[in-house]
Structure 1
């Protein structure tokens, strides 16, 4: 059964604000119990306590936006990245794809290639591929209504059953020293498992992700073969990728 604190976390990620009294009534527990739950979420860096409740931290709001809202952000950049990624998929027959809106743009461009099989934990990719010629395998798992994806142990176990040519993965942040990061542990675990099962890992990251920090690491630089972005990074990144044998593609 899903824990109360996890339900509260999902609610604040979706609405941006919660109140102690409302949560106390909703979950039939004391207000003091709710305050302890909120204190734990505060310690995770997710929220800021307010008088009578809590709000989602401004710094993390962009990491917890519902899929449909994320889909409308940086559309031009996502399309540029998707077009560049497609150049790297010649001869590829098996792909693992995460649930990001950028990866979705790639899937849209190749969905009628009947020679490709795609494995994904995204429910939106399943919807996009309805009627398409590409073969698709869903991981299954516990449905998450914010990310519109499958999560949990079942999803991870099913990913581990397959070996693929390429993993198409997104991230929330990149840092030379800290590595590749995401905002939620559940998604990070699945992306990390996908990287393990792929012969080649292609990381899709627009320019806003560089030199940033997010909640949890899920890849090291040794895991990444190629980074695709929408504009030329600074010289530090060019030198770093060259010295670490990471192909860097940009428009």
Structure 2
């Protein structure tokens, strides 16, 4: 790419998009070697292609638009991606929960991972739009389990609608919870917490507003450019639970926003299994 024009040459542009589409997920170093350009040039190329909607920029590389679209559509596919990272994040996020507390949990594979690590807790009240939770959670730990109504998204196995529960007579119950566990599509300094679906963004934002504390659960592949719909600004969360240190710009923005970054190490999940959690 010419430093004078700042434009990506058409030939390399087409080849790069085709390669990312075929590989589905690539790294900056891989592209730099393949196209015999510097990593900085690759980063500029990917940024331009992301802005044009031809690839999806990630921390350290990019993924194809088709791969992202397929992941958005099918929960079963998402359950097979980054499984170790999600398990470690879930184990660490579960340490933020105490018995006798009230939780809001949104639909997502990383929040499901957290639910699987709540086994030693008791008397939890959970309000959620995640239709997979009953099959993932032990009845021993739950006092009450509530589902938010709305449209059922079969591919995501979740409901999308208002964050509300009604009393007899149709009056809405005023909801407050101790902690919200929220899985998001992307985390970035300029965009905050974002997702690709507008209705889901509104629902997740409402969950966060009704919570005393908020923990965002996101593996490091979510450190990308903002997605379509903003859920909230960075400072709306108390914790970011992830599997790797965020890149410098994001780390600085999170620190300014007062967000505590909790990084799940390799030992987190295995240690919890050893003690029976």
TM-score normalised to structure 2 length: 0.65
Matched, 1:213 2:226: yes
Q: In 1, are the aligned partners of 2:99 and 2:124 still within 8 Å (CA)? A: no
Q: Secondary structure at the match of 1:213?
A: coil
Q: Secondary structure at the match of 2:107?
A: coil
Partner of 1:124: 132
Partner of 2:81: 73
- What CA distance in whole angstroms lies between the structure 1 residues aligned with 2:261 and 2:199? 27
Q: How many residues align?
A: 196
> CA offsets, 1:102-145, max 9 Å, x none?
00011111155222111101110123236443131111322111
Matched, 1:142 2:151: yes
Structure 1 segments, 4+ long, off by >4 Å, are none
From 160, 164, 176, give the equivalent of 1:157: 164
Offset at residue 204 of structure 1 (A)? 0.5
- What CA distance in whole angstroms lies between the structure 1 residues aligned with 2:152 and 2:140? 23
Offset at residue 238 of structure 1 (A)? 2.8
Segment of structure 1 superposing worse, 218-227 or 157-166:
157-166
CA spacing shift, 1:116–1:64, aligned 2, 3 Å: same
Partner of 1:64: 72
> CA offsets, 1:185-212, max 9 Å, x none?
1211110110010001100011011132
- What CA distance in whole angstroms lies between the structure 2 residues aligned with 1:89 and 1:130? 15
Q: In 1, are the aligned partners of 2:176 and 2:210 still within 8 Å (CA)? A: yes
Matched, 1:113 2:126: no
CA spacing shift, 1:161–1:67, aligned 2, 3 Å: farther
Partner of 1:166: 179
Partner of 2:5: none
CA spacing shift, 1:111–1:138, aligned 2, 3 Å: farther
- What CA distance in whole angstroms lies between the structure 2 residues aligned with 1:131 and 1:92? 14
CA spacing shift, 1:99–1:160, aligned 2, 3 Å: farther
- What CA distance in whole angstroms lies between the structure 2 residues aligned with 1:229 and 1:129? 22
Q: Tell which structure's C-alpha radius of gyration is larger.
A: 2
Q: Secondary structure at the match of 1:76?
A: helix
Offset at residue 241 of structure 1 (A)? 2.0
Partner of 1:51: none
- What CA distance in whole angstroms lies between the structure 1 residues aligned with 2:174 and 2:160? 16
Q: Secondary structure at the match of 1:166?
A: strand
Structure 2: any 5+ residue segments left out of the alignment? Answer: 1-52, 54-63, 166-171, 266-277
Offset at residue 213 of structure 1 (A)? 2.3
